[in-house]
Structure 1
């Protein structure tokens, strides 16, 4: 499977939809049952069959990175923590977004740089295109739309606060229990992004 994807261009955060699938998982429903409810019964409330299929596949891929503890906390924590848990899953599921968050966002947090411009995201994608053939083949408007998807993802998960075209980076809010669990059990480079500190 190609690890560099454009999934975040069209399917950024999907918080509510992810909650619905996670609830089915915690209820012990099989993958076949979840798929049927999400796609055929439209439990994720998407307008078209194609959109339901691709969204369900993406959500299932993301949630597969959460263990039972994090899946339960995703469902019963405060909204900020739940969004942080989903962001943790997405950082594992999407290699390019992870690299962006590690190389651009995390560096800004460590260097106490507050501003993030969309052109920085676009420049990151062009630099990746110089290193990675599949990214080089993406059209300019694909990179532009993906940059918008990255910014939307950061905003919805709490990594930035936006005011029109200006974006301020910030550390996300996570409750203490989940924070400590991630610190002890999480994927270290991703947990560092989540907590905004070197471990």
Structure 2
């Protein structure tokens, strides 16, 4: 996993865009071909060249954590399962988000505590600032925006249901074949987040 970073603040879930890149991977296109189509031909349909470059790089980084089985399931499963698979990749790609999901989300699921407030996400980031010089250097508004990014990711990938400023944690919907595959072949601490249980 990478060191702490703020990628989830600036680059959203990008589910549709990730599907487009994953399809190119499935077609056997080289990294150079994928990059050309995504960035130069704007296959990911983003307005600016800079945004296409950074988004393509982030998507490619995330998808690199999926093996052939999960990549295939990402393309061909129901939307809930596909989004959960993308979340599995993101949990491997982003250390800080992974730690948040282990320390806050999973604990709430295991203790049957449903409510999650944005303040709890922000408090988590301030706690990390005490442990990490990298996080300590981030401005308050960076932590605020990153907290919003975390909540958006959780919402889009099925880990929370939101009603205005109120959020309730839940287990994402994942089809049985993917659940079983993750149990047998996945990275245990991340699979525990995905399934909402200790293995």
TM tier, smaller: over 0.9
Residue by residue over 1:153-174, the C-alpha shift from the partner in whole angstroms, topping out at 9 and shown as x without a partner, is 0000000000000000000000
TM-score, L = length of structure 1 = 0.99
Offset, 1:2: 5.7
Counterpart CA distance in 1 for 2:161 and 2:27 is: 35
Counterpart CA distance in 2 for 1:161 and 1:155 is: 6
Counterpart CA distance in 2 for 1:171 and 1:25 is: 29
Tell me if the contact between 1:130 and 1:136 (Cα under 8 Å) persists in the aligned partners.
yes
RMSD of aligned alpha carbons? 0.8
- Dislocated runs of 4+, deviation >2 Å: none
Counterpart CA distance in 2 for 1:108 and 1:196 is: 9
Number of residues of Structure 1 aligned to a counterpart in Structure 2: 199
Change (3 A) 1:63 1:12: same
Counterpart CA distance in 1 for 2:73 and 2:2 is: 30
Tell me if the contact between 2:116 and 2:167 (Cα under 8 Å) persists in the aligned partners.
yes
- Name stretches of at least 5 consecutive residues in structure 1 with no aligned partner: none
Equivalent residue for 1:18? 18
Offset, 1:12: 2.1
Counterpart CA distance in 1 for 2:2 and 2:25 is: 26
Counterpart CA distance in 1 for 2:152 and 2:120 is: 14
Counterpart CA distance in 1 for 2:46 and 2:94 is: 22
Residue by residue over 1:46-80, the C-alpha shift from the partner in whole angstroms, topping out at 9 and shown as x without a partner, is 11000000000000000000000000000000000
Residue by residue over 1:123-144, the C-alpha shift from the partner in whole angstroms, topping out at 9 and shown as x without a partner, is 0000000000000000000000
Equivalent residue for 1:4? 4
Tell me if the contact between 2:97 and 2:150 (Cα under 8 Å) persists in the aligned partners.
yes
Change (3 A) 1:69 1:2: closer
Tell me if the contact between 1:12 and 1:150 (Cα under 8 Å) persists in the aligned partners.
no
- Name stretches of at least 5 consecutive residues in structure 2 with no aligned partner: none
TM-score, L = length of structure 2 = 0.99
